[in-house]
């Protein structure tokens, strides 16, 4: 059987050219399944997480349908609205609109809270075809008469479960009362709890259902290792793992903002370029940290689950779970970052004794056991148990000097993202160093 291609999905030449420009060769499963019915105007209920190519699956049909019936953008009245839970996700969707729509003459704006309204209002008054928005700021502008939704033809609710988690349900219900009856609606969610099902029933009409199983991402493509240190040993164990330069672009996950800060500070003290992103950081600080990470200035991004969801960064070599998530679905979201749109990845978890129940839930969800790194070592020279005598209780100690991580295994060096335990074990000269306390 030949591979599916974008032209077969019915996309226009301008979009095919843009996809070539982006180096997309074949559609991902959600793109193959969702694009043809969306082009025909059907509603869609998609269960898919970040990394599946879901953004292109809904942005491409919106662009095509708008360019098929070229109308001038109407002042204050967008024709397509894409709602996203966070500003980061909204910005990324805006970037996708620009990239895929580069050969079309459609106008768009991205609006979100935490910044001045002036420029956003100006854009809306001039008129945009496509509006990407977070719910709160959208409603502010609607209330003040800067945006009307009565000419809307397509609505997309992206990461609907996250929106509900973040308390946007009332805003979304309010927005739903403002929409015209006749419209196309799309709801995407990584999970499908009961309240999302209820929302979908109210929003969608005879939707096509597409489910892209996270299992395909976690089970088949990602090598998943686990270490079992005590809480006190996690810091030094993480440093030992980071000795491997193959860990070139790493997201370290924690459950709390406080712990994210501690981990980032600890790494920085040990001369590893790291920055934390979480909800307590200002918009500017988060954008700066993401930019530094994207550009390879920082090797490690330390993130909480909420801060990381929806962030689109390619070429993540490894995900480290410094703390095991207490929501098993979050494990899938976390490690999905290292295997984006079909490439391989490696996830390394540190599971302390009190986190064992969380690990059991995760293994139950993904229907497989993580590889015990001490028995099938991820790196052979990591001591089975870090020597606790070398540090004060609860903290590693000592001094270490290391340079920032060399970018290896990324597209820039021509390497892939797959992890080779044999190669990794055989590499000489790797020594465990002592850590500077956080
Ligand atoms: P998303 O799930 O929309 O967040 O997309 C994840 C990543 O996959 C983004 O970096 C996209 O640029 C990339 N991507 C989406 N579709 C494709 C495709 N068909 N081929 C290659 N990369 C893709």
Ligand 1, atom 16, lies closest to the CA of 53
Ligand 1 centroid distance, CA of 426 (Å): 34
| Residue 242 pLDDT level (bands cut at 50, 70, 90) | very high
Angstrom distance (rounded) from CA 99 to CA 97: 6
- Pocket perturbation via mutation, ligand 1, pick of 9, 20, 28, 156 by most ligand atoms within 8 A of CB: 28
Ligand 1 centroid distance, CA of 95 (Å): 12
Give the chain's radius of gyration (CA, Å).
23
| Residue 334 pLDDT level (bands cut at 50, 70, 90) | confident
| Residue 167 pLDDT level (bands cut at 50, 70, 90) | confident
Q: What is the pLDDT of residue 307?
A: 76
A 10 A CB-CB count for 85 gives 24
Residue 341 CA, closest ligand 1 atom number: 8
| Lowest pLDDT segment from 74-88, 294-308, 329-343, 386-400 | 386-400
Q: Which residues pair with 211 in a beta bridge?
A: 47
Task: Tell me what the pLDDT averaged over the chain comes to.
Answer: 83
pLDDT above 90 covers what percent of the chain? 58
Whether residue 50 contacts residue 58, with contact meaning beta carbons closer than 8 Å, is answered with: no
**Structure token digits, residue 99:** 């990239």
DSSP labels for 364-425? HHHTSPPEETTTS-SSTTS-SS--GGGS-TTS--S----PPPP--SSGGGT--S---HHHHH
Res. 263: pLDDT tops 50? yes
Domains of the chain (ranges, CATH numbers): 6-212 (3.40.50.300), 216-372 (3.40.50.300)
Residue 99 CA, closest ligand 1 atom number: 12
Res. 323: pLDDT tops 90? yes
| Residue 345 pLDDT level (bands cut at 50, 70, 90) | confident
Ligand 1 centroid distance, CA of 72 (Å): 30
Res. 408: pLDDT tops 70? no
Q: What is the pLDDT of residue 190?
A: 87
Res. 215: pLDDT tops 70? no
Q: What is the pLDDT of residue 429?
A: 29
| Residue 309 pLDDT level (bands cut at 50, 70, 90) | low
Q: What is the pLDDT of residue 339?
A: 62
Angstrom distance (rounded) from CA 333 to CA 190: 8
Residue 27 CA, closest ligand 1 atom number: 19
| Residue 8 pLDDT level (bands cut at 50, 70, 90) | very high
Mean per-residue pLDDT, 151-172: 93
Mean per-residue pLDDT, 139-153: 97
Mean per-residue pLDDT, 80-84: 98
- Pocket perturbation via mutation, ligand 1, pick of 26, 339, 340, 345 by most ligand atoms within 8 A of CB: 340
Question: Nearest to residue 199, comparing CAs of 236, 230, 168?
Answer: 168
Backbone phi, psi, residue 194, to 5°: -60, -35
Give residue ranges with CB within 6 A of ligand 1. 24, 27-28, 31, 50-56, 312, 314, 340-341
191 to 25, 201, 266, 267: CA distances (angstroms): 28, 15, 34, 33
Q: What is the pLDDT of residue 213?
A: 66
Res. 248: pLDDT tops 60? yes
- Pocket perturbation via mutation, ligand 1, pick of 24, 28, 210, 341 by most ligand atoms within 8 A of CB: 341
Q: What is the pLDDT of residue 340?
A: 59
| Residue 11 pLDDT level (bands cut at 50, 70, 90) | very high
Question: Nearest to residue 48, comparing CAs of 339, 343, 314, 333?
Answer: 333
Ligand 1 centroid distance, CA of 50 (Å): 9
Mean per-residue pLDDT, 274-287: 81
A 10 A CB-CB count for 406 gives 12
Own/partner pairs, 10-13, CB within 8 angstroms, 24+ separation: 10/35, 10/36, 10/39, 11/35, 11/39, 11/60, 11/64, 12/64, 12/67, 12/68
Residue 26 CA, closest ligand 1 atom number: 19
Ligand 1 centroid distance, CA of 311 (Å): 12
Mean per-residue pLDDT, 396-408: 32
Q: Which helix (H) or strand (E) holds 330?
A: helix 328-336
Q: What is the pLDDT of residue 220?
A: 64
């Amino acid at each position: 059987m030949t591979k599916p291609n974008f032209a077969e999905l019915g996309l226009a030449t301008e979009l095919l050219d843009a996809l070539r420009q982006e180096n997309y060769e074949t559609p991902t499963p959600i793109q193959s399944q969702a694009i043809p019915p969306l082009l025909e105007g059907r509603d869609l209920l998609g269960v898919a997480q970040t990394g599946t190519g879901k953004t292109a699956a809904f942005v491409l049909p919106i662009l095509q349908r708008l360019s098929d019936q070229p109308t001038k953008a109407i002042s204050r009245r967008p024709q397509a609205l894409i709602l996203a839970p966070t500003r980061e996700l909204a910005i990324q969707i805006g970037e996708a609109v620009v990239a895929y729509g580069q050969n079309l003459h459609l106008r768009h704006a991205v609006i979100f809270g935490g910044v001045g309204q002036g420029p956003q209002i100006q854009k809306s008054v001039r008129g945009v075809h496509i509006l990407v928005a977070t719910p709160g700021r959208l409603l502010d502008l609607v209330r003040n008469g800067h945006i009307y939704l009565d000419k809307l033809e397509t609505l997309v609710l992206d990461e609907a479960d996250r929106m509900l988690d973040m308390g946007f349900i009332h805003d979304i219900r309010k927005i739903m009362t403002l929409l015209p009856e006749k419209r196309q609606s799309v709801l995407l969610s990584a999970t499908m709890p009961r309240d999302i099902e209820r929302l979908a029933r109210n929003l969608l009409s005879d939707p096509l259902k597409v489910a892209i199983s996270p299992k395909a991402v976690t089970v088949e493509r990602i090598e998943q290792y686990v270490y079992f240190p005590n809480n006190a040993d996690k810091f030094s164990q993480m440093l030992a793992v980071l000795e491997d330069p193959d860990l070139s672009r790493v997201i370290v996950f924690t459950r709390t903002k406080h712990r994210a800060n501690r981990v980032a500070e600890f790494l920085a003290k040990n001369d590893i370029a790291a920055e934390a992103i979480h909800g307590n950081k200002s918009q500017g600080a988060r954008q700066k940290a993401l930019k530094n990470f994207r550009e390879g200035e920082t090797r490690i991004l330390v993130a909480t689950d909420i801060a990381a969801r929806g962030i689109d960064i390619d070429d993540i070599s490894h995900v480290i779970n410094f703390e095991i998530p207490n929501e098993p679905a979050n494990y899938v979201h976390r490690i999905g970052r290292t295997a984006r749109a079909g490439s391989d990845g490696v996830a390394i978890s540190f599971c302390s004794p009190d986190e064992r129940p969380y690990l059991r839930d995760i293994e139950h969800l993904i229907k497989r056991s993580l590889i015990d790194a001490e028995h099938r070592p991820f790196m052979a020279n990591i001591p089975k148990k870090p020597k606790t005598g070398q540090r004060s209780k609860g903290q590693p100690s000592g001094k270490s000097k290391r340079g920032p991580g060399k970018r290896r295994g990324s597209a820039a060096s021509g390497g892939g993202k797959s992890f080779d335990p044999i190669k990794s074990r055989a590499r000489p000269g790797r020594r465990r160093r002592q850590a500077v306390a956080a």
